[in-house]
Amino acid sequence: MLRSIRQLSSTSRSMKQLKIGLIPGDGIGREVIPAGKAVLENLPSKYDLQFSFVDLKAGYELFKETGTALPEETVDILKNDCDGALFGAVSSPTVKVAGYSSPIVALRKKLGLYANVRPVKSVEGIGRPVDMVIVRENTEDLYIKEEKTYKAADGTQVAEAIKRITETATTRIAKIAFEIALSRQQIRENGLKSIHDHPSVTVTHKSNVLSQSDGLFREVCKKVWEENPQFQAVEYKEQIVDSMVYRMFREPEEFDVVVAPNLYGDILSDGAAALVGSLGVVPSANVGDNFAIGEPCHGSAPDIEGKGISNPIATIRSTALMLEFMGYQDAATTIYEAVDANLAEDKIKTPDLGGSSTTQQVIDDIIKRMK
């Protein structure tokens, strides 16, 4: 559980009327985004928060219908009218589709959401102890999508992609990672149970091979730690990405906050979901200096679309994470505790967790626990 790291503004902190953009996207996104809306509408009255919602469009299915995956209207409304947003899921074609690019990747760039924050936490007494946050740089690396294909001298096809790492982007992602580590430690000192007794940040890279690009990422992260006295309370660690994967599965309790370039962060955060049972329980937030979008880590899951069995917990936790970065920690904690109670009781759960409950039954149980 994180504290609010980025308060949006003094106006946002005191605001009781909040407008949230809802972007279901594709597949089961349309089934789980209503869960986020429901928990916001059912927050206890003591928080004095009232929400209004605006339905917005984006996704691959929209692209197939209109030729546009992310309408400018969606971006404009998020920028000018919303205090936060929830994004459901997006289908990703496995072959090249002319004119299509991921709308969530585009949203991150257009709204300056440079950090993807993914907490992965086990429920006490269930499975192996896990309590880590993976902080993924969101704007560059191979995800700049500068690719080309050409023919070699022998006539065979060659494909190339540019991997871009900059000092500017690395500096800001390193800073937020260390800030999150300090914040988590403060919450632990205030009584939150945790498997960690001191804060740490593990910088993940492959600089032994990619000495220029990953080498820069490593050097800048260490420089941020060395040059900011407030970060000296955080233990600085490094891990080569392949051994990081190995250790994450063998010794997950060793990791508190992990910071990584875009591609490694994407792979690590999805892999870490296996430690807590399912992608269906892992939340994320796309965070910038002025906005946050909650986004479950799972995909559009076309194999279960329409069956009413998609797990809403990742979306519900992402909703709480969005609230944290908007400055409403207490309200977020109420949601987290209700989800943890649902998981700990181990009765009402969707098939991905070995149960037989429906999406709506899980939503109803969590809302009941919130009250």
> pTM, whole model, 2 decimals?
0.85
pLDDT tens, N- to C-terminus, the chain (371 residues): 334 444 444 444 454 799 999 999 999 999 999 999 999 999 999 999 999 999 999 999 999 999 999 999 999 999 999 999 999 999 988 788 889 988 998 998 899 999 999 999 887 666 678 999 999 999 999 988 899 999 999 999 999 999 999 999 999 999 999 998 998 888 777 666 778 889 999 999 999 999 999 999 999 999 999 999 999 999 999 999 999 999 999 999 999 999 999 999 999 988 888 888 778 899 999 999 889 999 998 889 999 999 999 999 999 999 999 998 898 888 988 998 899 899 988 899 999 988 999 999 999 999 999 98
10 within a domain of the structure (yes/no): no
263 within a domain of the structure (yes/no): yes
| Chain centroid offset of residue 39 CA | 18
Amino acid at 347: K
Report whether 322 contacts 12 (CB < 8 A). Answer: no
Half-sphere exposure of 249 (CA within 13 A, CB side): 11
2 within a domain of the structure (yes/no): no
Torsion of CA 217, 182, 43, 51, to 10 degrees: -50
55 within a domain of the structure (yes/no): yes
Half-sphere exposure of 236 (CA within 13 A, CB side): 17
* Phi/psi of residue 202, nearest 5 degrees: -105, 115
5 within a domain of the structure (yes/no): no
Residue 196 is part of which domain span? 16-370
8 within a domain of the structure (yes/no): no
**How many Å apart are CA 312 and CA 320, to the nearest integer?**
13
* CATH number of the CATH domain containing 164: 3.40.718.10
**How many Å apart are CA 368 and CA 42, to the nearest integer?**
9
310 within a domain of the structure (yes/no): yes
**How many structural domains is the chain composed of?**
1
56 within a domain of the structure (yes/no): yes
